[in-house]
Structure 1
Amino acid sequence: MYFWSVHLFILLLLAFEQCYAVKDYLFKKCGQSGFCNRNRHFASEVEGLGDKYNSHYSIDISCLDINDADGIVRGVLLKQLNDGTFVDLNFNLTLINNNDLRLRIDEANREERIGTNVTSPVTKKRYDEASKWSFVNSTSIRSSSFKHILGSDKLTLQYGGHYKTDVMLYPFQIYMYYDDNLQLVVNDRNFLNIEHYRTKESEEDENSNDVAPEESKYNAYHDDFKDSKGDTLPLGPESVALDFTYQNYTDVYGIPEHADSLSLKDTTDGEPYRLYNVDIFEYPVEQKYAMYGSIPFMMSVKPDAAIGVFWVNSADTYIDIKKHLAEKQGNDTEKLVDSLKSYESSVDKVQTHWMSENGVLDVVLFVKPTPAEVLKEYGLLTGYSALPNIFSLGYHQSRWNYNDQKDVLDVSSHLDQNQMPCDAIWLDIEYTEKKKYFTWDPHAFPNSDEMAATLNKTGRNLVVIIDPHLKTGYKVSDGVIKDKIGIMKSDLKEIYKGQCWPGESVWIDTLNPASNDYWNKQFANGTDLLKYSTNIYLWNDMNEPSVFDGPETSAPKDLIHYGNWEHRSVHNLYGMTFHEATYGALITRNPHQRPFILTRSFFSGSQRTSTMWTGDNTASWEYLRESIRMILALNIAGFPFAGSDVGGFFKNPDEELLTRWYQAGIWYPFFRAHSHIDSRRREPYLAEEPYKSYISDALKLRYKLLPILYTLFYRTSVSGSPVLKPMFYEYPGNKKSYSIDDQFFLSDLLVRPVMEQNQHSIKLYLPDDKKYYNFFNLDQVLSGEGYHYNVSAEINDIPAFLREGSILPTKQRYRRSSKLMTYDPYTLYVTIDSSGKSANGELYIDDGKSFDYLDSEDFILLNFTVENGDTQFLLK
């Protein structure tokens, strides 16, 4: 009997573990995805042919229209078919903003060619509105002028003093130069592939000339993937693909969201990185899986230049990366690559291959002298992060779920009793009445306004969740159905209904302008949710959208949105339209107060109106380690206001892991502890000593750093600079920094979190020969470029070092929340440089909550300098 009991216990344990493991069979691999399979096949065929391959793509020189003054080249890109005929593609190359190139390719006369072949109500033209959502506004694009030279084989554009671009007419390729050095080649490997419209009959005809010998017909008009077999694919194959070669670059970064290294890996022998917003349950680390958000922006740096590629496409996308070994090293990679270090040192270019399921081909190319200038230009196009309400930079306490009103106020009280500062307490889905959003459970939360008012006495706020799925059979969802502002089935005859937390649900279509007025009404003063409270803020979860019974836990791709666009075209930006609608509703409700919205799903441009977090992580050391990498990747992709669930969402951290996670989490731009409904309570005051004291010290340090953080957020709001700066970004001239992703800069603080168990010392890399002072004991100094070993990292240590020549503003008094710190004095940390004569720093101050800093320039910007031993404060 005992034997069976033991085995039953083990089986139950295994079952419990498995229920928290990612179900990778739910998510497509490239080989199971029609368009990715076809484009990888096309690429392999083209590479296999080598010099024997004759490209299908050329520019019709007779149709070129070149306007030097406006910086525009228009023309026709010809795609040659097997029978010698051509498909015309509209080609547009524009010089925009500060010497950035935008390339757009679309099918000409597509709607005419489709004619009556397609009976679906879906829009026949390719989706071309991703830029409408991702660009900050139409005025974010300014044309620039160039001078051109047209020859028989190429078009040369010269502009900006430092720039030259050669557009090859056949085969179609683009060579971009900066200071006479080749930086980027577009279509270097001839992987350009525009799957033009062809009928289902033509696609199934083995003798059809519509498909080139190098192309594949795999899943062109149907989907074999188990959960996607209902996809109607009314328009057939319509993918776009293109390759980019980063010449003399060794590393590429960005394209979040992925739980992988900061420097993206070679995918030659594995899966590509995928951008497809999905609810991925306990995502694995060191993987290229699709996750909750997508930013199709990639950056690369070298000592004298930097590149950004912005792939303006919101459809399902895969990206292959190949790190090319220098030819002089030979082909014996087994002997050559005996370590990652030797491999990286042998790379002389990085080649990438981008593949999207549909849409126009639209890409913006940035070549600049530094990564900071690339990110500034990308932000000029897509918008910089809004200056946040200062409370949102404080500590946030959350779990799924606090039980009731008393529980919420007890948590707040216990934080005060243990002198642990906190700015917000969060409520997950259980606060609602039967998971009907915009309602309160009348038994658990009988007086939400009173609860919010009690929190407000200590400057604390309440954050509640509102998701896009709306339970059928109550007034909010009934209104969506009545007003016809929901996502529709593929035949447009009825609204789509699927399963999510409330059971049967409908999804509001926030691409529809009419949905904004409806959404605004749900947040108005006097409504059930907000009533008259002014300290309640919002959390938009499950907005990928997450659909429990949908393919890949998301919406069927052939659903239809406003404008008769298929969901497959707008999938990756849907979550952004939802949190933007929420932002607009909060602005309508209170135009003078900066909103705060946390989103799980995001796209390029989400940084303008929201904060994000990395989703359902796990209480383990590897996820703590991964959180830093993911947040750094988001910072250099234009979305710095990012965080990760402190302590891990799933499972239960031991007290060492929890302590180390708080010590790392205080550096996250967004700092929130959150946990699963089945995890044990782990509010910081519940930890045993001495861990409770160490966590308390970390929380207080976060509040001391608020002036630094707020100043950094001001900087990112006007220039797009990261809040957390990776080593390569801060020191692009130092190649040794390119692969480092376990340390970073916060202003002039070099931080190296402890992310391994039983660690008592850390290895710290100093990128230059400057002095670095221990932030907690300025008598301890490190200096000398290179790795420094055995730097103390006991459980009560938080490794952070202040670079010489710096002035950092802090606030030292303990307060229960950031609101109560408003009039506290500042304490400056000053480290004079090696000359003993200079240092500098900056401090930004405003009211921390309103838009007065924009409307009436009601703010203070102080520059602190020490020059020749004299201290100066310069007010701007």
Structure 2
Amino acid sequence: MKTLRCLLLAFLAIHGSFAVDRNNFKTCAQSGFCKRLREQKPEKSQYALDLTSVMVQGNTLFANVETIDRESEKRTVLHKYVLKLSAIQDGTFRVEMDEAEPLYPRYVPQLALKDTPVPDKLNLVSKDDNRVIATNSQGHKVVITADPLKVEFYDKSGDVALVMNENSQLIIEPLRKKREAVDDESGNVVEVDEEGTWGENFKSHHDSKPRGNEAISMDFSFPDAEQAYGIPEHTDKVNLATTTSGEPYRLFNLDVFEFELDSRMALYAGIPVLYAHGTKRTVGVFWHNAAETWVDVVNYADSNVVSSLVNLVTGGQKQRVDARFMSESGVLDVFVLLGDKPKDVFRQYTALTGVAPLPPKFSLAYHQSRWNYVDEADVASVNEGFDTHDIPADSIWLDIEYTNTKKYFTWDLEKFPHPSEMVSNLTAKGRKLIVIIDPHIKREAGYFLHEEATERGYYVKNKDGKDYDGWCWPGSSSYLDFLNPLVSQYLSEQYRYDKFVGTSKDVHIWNDMNEPSVFNGPEITMPKDNRHYKESESGSEGPAAYWEHRHIHNEYGLYYIRATHQGMLDRDNGKYRPFVLTRAGFAGSQRYAAIWTGDNMAEWGFLSASVSMCLSMAIAGMSFCGSDVGGFFKYPESELMTRWYQAGAYQSFFRAHSHIETKRREPWLYDADTLALIRDANRRRYALLDFWYTLFFEHSRDGLPVMRPLFQEYPDETAVFTIDNEYLLGDKLLVRPVLEQGVSSVKVYLPGSRTRTLWYDVDTYQAHQANGYINQETPMSKIPVYQRGGTVLPRKERVRRASALMAADPYTLVVALDANNTASGTLYIDDGETYEYRNNKYIYAKLEYSPEIMSYTFINENASYATRSWVERIVIAGIKAPPKTAKLTQGDKQTSLLMTLHKGNDVLVIRKPGASMAKPWKINFSY
């Protein structure tokens, strides 16, 4: 058996060392369909709609489409397709197009959509010689030009918001069988070799293509758009770059070892949703496809777009964005999200693909991880270290070395002989254990999982129909085929307490390597011609009898985390909320797991990239995002480590993690000054934990990102369109992490000048009038964070060693007044771990302040929760005319309150109101 060292060396040899080896990953020119489609730029589309076939049934318009040989003297039909246009609730349309009689069924993602989309009414308004016009109930209009085919979507004001196929880049390659010919010498019938059609090579790997070429393409034009966003995961800016002079953006889930910055290369996640935004409107496109996808972007405002191209296409107008999606397979299936503001399109997307469910509260706190804590004594020492050094932490993580020789659902009984006791020692202090479960299954005789999967035929097959054998951390490995419902159920069952012995409700799961990563596979992943389960159809044989991995690749990790999530639900009959972390991501992954940005480095550039990467993830539905604090590879010196903890404390997922060969870096291993700063950063997180929890509850209801780019809340302020080194938490906090080395100050953009927005420094309560950039001093103890005027923020200042121990602690309410001397906010409270909130056992309250009264009222009066929390202090910032008296009323009880005015910064403190948070209350002020 190979040692860990040998495995590491093999991994490095495959991946390259100290920098990404680009030779392991394809360029567009090396990806057969991308090269082929990108070179096809016809002047006029071959596709034409048959107007005589147009009909409307329910919310869907149906029509036949033909490809026309335009070089022939008479109209020659080459192939026939069916077009469907559906109206969906909330200003969304769906456009589908497939062959009228495909040789084989084409794959449509099975898990991305949370439900069947809710239909809207579609009206056929008119049909003339070359156009069809339809409308929905929202007032949006769709105009379909028949020949050449073009689809225009209009916003409610009557302006064109999106055009499909304006640049004639619609392509659906028809499926066909191999051609045969008679060999002149032998007289035998032989297959005609068509280069690249039935197979292609990359390095030493051959990809057989039993269905031949089956790629699809569509172009989208966004008039008046100034920037485009989305299509994560990549390491460049939030606003997408023009790709005409380089590689397109690639969406193909890959394990990219030591990935590089400022790159459009594929990474661990591929979420095919793109947004185009300008001051007039925001529009989204969700490309519902799980195959390898490349996306070209042209922003005509970019300086690197040739001016003649701008004039040719836009008539000189520079406010426009074009995009082209190209996928290796699948049907054309596009959701058009007709905003018209960023909030609208983000909500429309999560209405389709789902939201992050309300997570267990501990998961929003701080996590401590390393590859690997070596044994139970090491775990106990780290657990004790947080208490000794007075640093709050909610979980400790175990990487792959806790298992018995990389066999998942087992323990190394020499190093972890008493897992139940180890878990109990953590839970006694309010903490959890999180362990890794990867998708590669060790091919070892006697290992129950391998034996059962082999016997039952549960593995993904290779192109010859045999169990696929790849290489990953255990060495020889196979991979469960989750497209088979029995296999997903089988994995879910492994999480039962009687099977995964030593676990409890306080053990949660980390799914890594689920792209899937295969060290000896093409591009470090599974071969595309591997075979997956397909529900049998009468008479299906050959390529029709299975799905290829090329069809489902980006969805594989989603299948995996769904099975994990379900297993964790089932182990307690659905009582407790699971926490799952995933590395791979696709549309809809947010319904089951949080995500992190993967194997980053202890470098300043990666700290900066953590912000833009998580912002892109958030607007693509995955709000629960973070990066490895400190960097996975290399060792962060004190300044970088401090700044990373400060930044991580204000990102949704807050975990420190590091590589097995890096120097240990628990906070107390740094010098005393750095330890104190890290402690302060963690305590900042815990003080705001109820604010985070409220944000995630509201996300679960409205689908809006938790971590937000500035343009979401300030869509008309053009200066913020390209800012991605600062962001908003909800609409209440503005965060500008220190992302630069050795600086003593940073520039912070304060948005909202048109609305006279005030921003209050959370450390000093100093008010700043929004008017663009300010210079903020940043000593090592300072991370610039500002509370928006007009908001109320809940805090808990009595930080304890874990969040569970703070449940009954009192609140400090921070009221930041706007220009009208008013403010409002919300607060969500429940038990933090069960689904009892679905039975109305929760509090969702509104806090409102005016000069005359401050009130705490329940938004849902039918819900209640017996919290023991109370109000310890109320801080009112920006007060110019303080009241003389304040009287609290709760139920039948009235209490006069003590107040202290801090004249230097216009702050009034109401001391110990003592109001219970279990019931409504109000404070009346007199002057």
> Contact 2:122–2:135 (CA<8 Å) still a contact in 1?
no
Aligned with 2:744 (options 739, 760, 773): 760
> Which of 774, 784, 787 is equivalent to 1:788?
774
1:161: how far off?
4.6
Shift of 1:833: 1.2
Which residue does 1:9 correspond to in 2? none
Equivalent residue runs for 1:339-738 within 5 Å: 347-473=318-444, 474-492=447-465, 494-527=466-499, 529-531=500-502, 533-563=504-534, 564-590=546-572, 591-738=574-721
Pairing 1:827–2:812 present: yes
Say if 1:39 and 1:532 are closer, same or farther in 2 by CA, change over 3 A: closer
Give the Cα–Cα distance (whole angstroms) in 2 for the partners of residues 462 and 734 of structure 1.
45
Matched letter for residue 146 of structure 2: L
CA contact (8 A) 1:516 1:585 kept: no
| Count of residue pairs the alignment pairs up | 812
1:490 deviation in Å?
1.7
Cα deviation, residue 326, structure 1: 9.9
Q: Give the helix-richer structure, 1 or 2.
A: 1
Q: 1:248 aligns with which of 221, 224, 243?
A: 224
Match of 1:135 among 91, 104, 113: 113
Which letter does structure 1 place at the counterpart of 2:697?
Answer: Y
Where does residue 849 of structure 1 map in the other structure? 833
What is aligned with 1:213?
Answer: none
* Shift of residue 145, structure 1, vs aligned partner: 3.0
Separation in 1, partners of 2:14, 2:693: 42
> Is residue 774 from structure 1 mapped to residue 761 from structure 2 by the alignment?
yes
Which residue is equivalent to 1:189?
167
- Between 1:217-226 and 1:661-670, the stretch displaced more is 217-226
Residue by residue over 1:311-362, the C-alpha shift from the partner in whole angstroms, topping out at 9 and shown as x without a partner, is 00000000000112599x993799x9xxxxxxxx983100001000001010
Q: Deviations over 1:150-190 (max 9, x none)?
A: 11111111223531110111111111111111111111100
Q: Deviations over 1:457-493 (max 9, x none)?
A: 011000000011100121111111111111011232x
Residue deviations 1:664-696 (CA, integer Å, cap 9, x gap): 000110100000000000011211121110110
What SS class does the counterpart of residue 217 from structure 2 fall into? strand
The secondary structure found in structure 1 opposite 2:166 is coil
Helix, strand or coil at the partner of 2:122:
coil
1:174 aligns to what? 151
1:593 maps to a residue whose letter is: Y
Secondary structure at 1:463 match in 2: strand
Q: What is the rounded CA distance, in whole Å, between the counterparts of 1:539 and 1:721 in structure 2?
A: 25
Q: 1:502 & 1:95 partners in 2: Cα distance? A: 49
Question: In structure 2, how many angstroms separate the alpha carbons of the residues matched to 1:203 and 1:364?
Answer: 43
Q: Residues 175 and 211 of structure 2 are in contact (CA less than 8 Å); yes or no, is this contact kept in structure 1?
A: yes
Counterpart selection for 2:133 from 156, 160, 176? 156
Question: Alignment partner for residue 93 of structure 2, among 98, 101, 104?
Answer: 101
Contact 2:276 2:321 in 1 (8 A): no
What is the letter of the counterpart of residue 749 of structure 1? L
Aligned to 1:347, what secondary structure does the other structure show? coil
For residues 95 and 203 of structure 1, what CA distance do their matches in structure 2 show? 47
Gaps of 5+ in 1: 1-13, 47-52, 112-123, 206-216, 337-344
Aligned to 2:791: 806
Deviant stretches of 4+, over 4 Å: 14-18, 202-205
Classify the secondary structure of the residue corresponding to 1:809: strand
CA distance in 1, matches of 2:341, 2:748: 25
The one-letter code matched in structure 2 to 1:446 is: P
Question: What root-mean-square deviation, in Å, do the aligned CA atoms of Structure 1 and Structure 2 show?
Answer: 2.3
Q: Quote the Cα distance in structure 2 between the aligned partners of 1:94 and 1:318.
A: 25
Change (3 A) 1:450 1:378: same
Distance 1:162 1:785, change over 3 A: farther
TM-score normalised according to structure 2 size: 0.85
Per-residue displacement from partner, 1:199-232 (whole Å, max 9, x unpaired)? 4438999xxxxxxxxxxx8622221321432x11
Give the superposition deviation at 1:55. 2.1
SS at structure 2 position matched to 1:667:
coil
Q: What is the CA-CA distance between 1:530 and the residue it aligns to? A: 4.0
| Deviation, structure 1 residue 620 | 0.1
Query: Would the alpha carbon gap of residues 304 and 874 (structure 1) be closer, same or farther in structure 2, given more than 3 Å must change?
Result: farther
Distance 1:305 1:54, change over 3 A: closer
Judge conservation of contact 2:16–2:257 (CA < 8 Å) in 1. no
Could you tell me which runs of 5 or more consecutive residues in structure 2 were left unpaired when the two chains were aligned: 1-11, 184-193, 535-545, 860-927
Q: 1:224 aligns with which of 189, 196, 201?
A: 201
SS at 1:101's partner residue? Answer: strand
Aligned to 1:79: 67
- Deviation string, structure 1 residues 7-53 (Cα, Å, up to 9, x no partner): xxxxxxx999961211110100000001000011102xx2xxxxxx3
**Counterparts in 2 of 1:363 and 1:330: CA distance versus 1, 3 Å:** closer
Judging changes above 3 Å, is the alpha-carbon distance between structure 1 residues 385 and 801 closer, same or farther for their aligned structure 2 residues? same
Q: Secondary structure at the match of 1:106?
A: strand
The answer to whether the Cα contact below 8 Å between 1:497 and 1:504 also exists between their aligned partners in 2 is: yes
Which is worse superposed, 299-308 or 620-629? 299-308
Task: Check whether the contact 1:227–1:550 (CA below 8 A) recurs between aligned residues.
Answer: no
- SS of corresponding position for 2:482: coil
Change (3 A) 1:141 1:162: closer
Q: How far apart are 1:869 and its partner, in Å?
A: 3.4
Between 1 and 2, higher relative CO (CA 8 Å, sep ≥ 6) is seen in 1
Amino acid at match of 1:233: K
Alpha-carbon distance in 1 for matches of 2:339, 2:309: 33
TM-superposition CA deviations, 1:543-577 (whole Å, max 9, x none): 10100110000000011111011100000000000
Q: Which residue of 2 aligns with 1:118?
A: none
Q: Which residue identity is paired with 1:397?
A: Q
Q: What is the CA-CA distance between 1:107 and the residue it aligns to?
A: 1.2
Show CA shifts across 1:47-104 (max 9, x none). Answer: xxxxxx342100111221123xx22111211112476232111111111122211011
State, as a whole percentage, how many aligned pairs show the same letter: 39
CA contact (8 A) 1:147 1:159 kept: no
Please name the residue that 1:818 is paired with: 803
Closer, same or farther in 2 for the Cα pair 1:465/1:501, shift >3 Å? same
Range moving further from structure 2, 280-289 or 529-538:
529-538
Distance 2:302 2:748 in 1: 30
Shift of 1:526: 2.0
Structure with greater Cα Rg: 2
Preserved contact between residue 123 and residue 136 of structure 2 (Cα < 8 Å): yes
Per the alignment, in what secondary structure is the counterpart of residue 91 of structure 1?
A: strand
What SS class does the counterpart of residue 685 from structure 1 fall into?
helix
The answer to whether the 8 Å contact 1:326/1:346 transfers is: no
